[in-house]
Structure 1
């Protein structure tokens, strides 16, 4: 320090400032080097710690995996043992079922063979009876056929003889009739020819005479007609001319009259048609107006009716909507309640599963106490179709049989525990009474002496009525027996579950 102070004293102010600045920079650099070295040392140490941590963590994980593998292998072995026992039990059950089915099959085959043999015997017997009957019918048929053939031959010979006789008689009659007919035919032909010739000659003569007479008459009449015609033409020529003129005028006036009449007829027809049209139009308009009024009234009535129906439907739909809303709300509440109940049942099932024993896990269903015949009767009854409604409803819930088995088992256990609890409670009360009596007996005070006291013994008898004797086996069992296990009921746990 004296050297430095002497050295600083020799320096000027600027040199001193520069020297101090250099010294400060050197110290700063040394401090930075120390910090860098410390940082590097800490980083190296941190890396080493991280490596050691990773190594230790891997080591711990490896050891923990080994422990977990061992525990899991034990659990898996237990599960495999349980599953193997269950599988063996199921296999035994299936084998028993297969044996019973094979036995039933053999019995059914025997019954079938016996029925087939009896059926074949019956068929053979029926065939023999049918053959005998056919033979008998064949013999009867042959006898009757021979009798009929003989009768037919005799009757045929008789008919042939009679036919030959009748044919000979008929031929004789036909020959006689033909001869008679030929004779009559020849006579009629000759008479007809003679009469025809006579009539023909007579007609020719009369025809010739009439022709001559008629020709003369026609010639005379023609001459008279020509003369009268000439006379008529000469006398009526002037009248004919005037008639022709008047006839022309008449035809002309007739045509004009006819034209006017046609015009009048057309006008009258038009007037009548217009009147009829007007009347028809008036009637149609009245009918249409009347019909429109009726339709309007009917439409108004129909509208009022539809309006009333629509109001009724609105009211009904509003009531239905209200009812549906209430029912849906009730259904939602009921479903929520059932869902909560189901969740509560599942929680209870999980809790009950935790307290199940190994035997209950392996054999969840109790063995039946029925015999094989009773079991067969029950199976046959379940396979039969239900005849009543209640039976049909119960038949739908046969799949819940295992559930009801477990439920009944749990219920029986609960009832047994309740009974045991009641017995123990009664024993506890009796023991409390005995203890109180004993304590009252060993203590002396005015209250105890004023009551019945077991210390007062007369003739080796106390005036206390002992409810439970000391030699009661239940009391002795409680006193000397092994300690009982404390069992917590699932119902007690369920009551304290958070809702």
Structure 2
């Protein structure tokens, strides 16, 4: 019913719109004719205009009356429909309540019946179970009594038969056990004697072969040891002489290095005293400077302070009174110390050059690491600023993706200016004048971008900062590895030129046989059961000592 009424109302409204459009088109034609006749007669135009306005007023009044009557009729029908709907809704609710009560009552009755049936079935089950249990107990007691009687009879029969058997077979059983034990003892004795005889035969044969091999090996070993003894004596004499020469050379190098170190220490002490004296003189001169000298320390004495550029610079460069400046030369103890330091020994110079090279490389790596750390810190601060700016751009781009109130979906374009509308004055249609309270995101060229582009810029900046951090970490690892290598090289160098307790505690490397230690060769020959002659070789230690030098 309401749908049919609504359709009829819509049809009436369409008819009224058509008639209204027809009247409006007719009036537009009248207006066209009046405009054409306006140049012909102004009075006729005024009269026609007044009549037209009166006709429009009558038409408007008529339309207002018709709309008022239609509104009244619509409100009346609406109240009738609301009344009908309310009545039907109340009837449906009452009918639903009645049916609900009936169903609940029926459910309660069924539940009571089901509970009653369950109780009856439970009682019947308990009665039957008790009856069956009592019958089974009675039958079990009867069967137990019968079985007890049979067990007693059989037990008495077994006891009588067992006693009779023991009385008749006790003597024969005892004799059989004694004979069995004697047979087992004699069998074990025979087996032991047989095994012992076989082992004795094998041992005699093995000892005969071993005696022959031992005598032959001893003869070869004695001759080999005599030759080895002679070779070891010659090798010992050669190594002793080489060791004495190496110790002498090392002693000379150590003395030269000690003297050079003491000379360097005394020279540095003199240089430090001279530097302290120079610093004290500089402090005294600075305390005695006048105000003009503090302002321009290179100005000539009595020169004009207001001259262009730096006053007195030419005079200062010329030596003040026209005399050229003499170069700074070292005299006295400084010159003597410089001549003394130039007379160091060759060993001290070589060690100093190596240590200086290592210290220079370590300082260079330290400076490189500091510069890299500072640059990385600056890049990280810049990256944090860029990240904050990108986060603001991303938040602004996300806000630009939502259209403001009063703008439809077809008229909205994210990140660009809003179209012209009555609710947004001051905005052009082509987007050249965006609103002041609605900012836009722009790129480096000043062009507006959307939210996705701003997020892309943010991710690019974040990736750049991440890559720089990874590169910095790789540079730190490489510098640390280089420092570790230099430290290991310095440790090996110091270990090579010094004699420590660890070096003295190591095994003697002078005893070398075929590029292997004597203990290993001896142990391998003993384990193999043979004594092969080995030759003594002393070149390994010589090669090692030459490499260290």
Q: TM-score, normalised by structure 1?
A: 0.25
The structure with more helix, counted as a fraction of residues = 1
Q: TM-score, normalised by structure 2?
A: 0.23
> Whose Rg is larger?
1
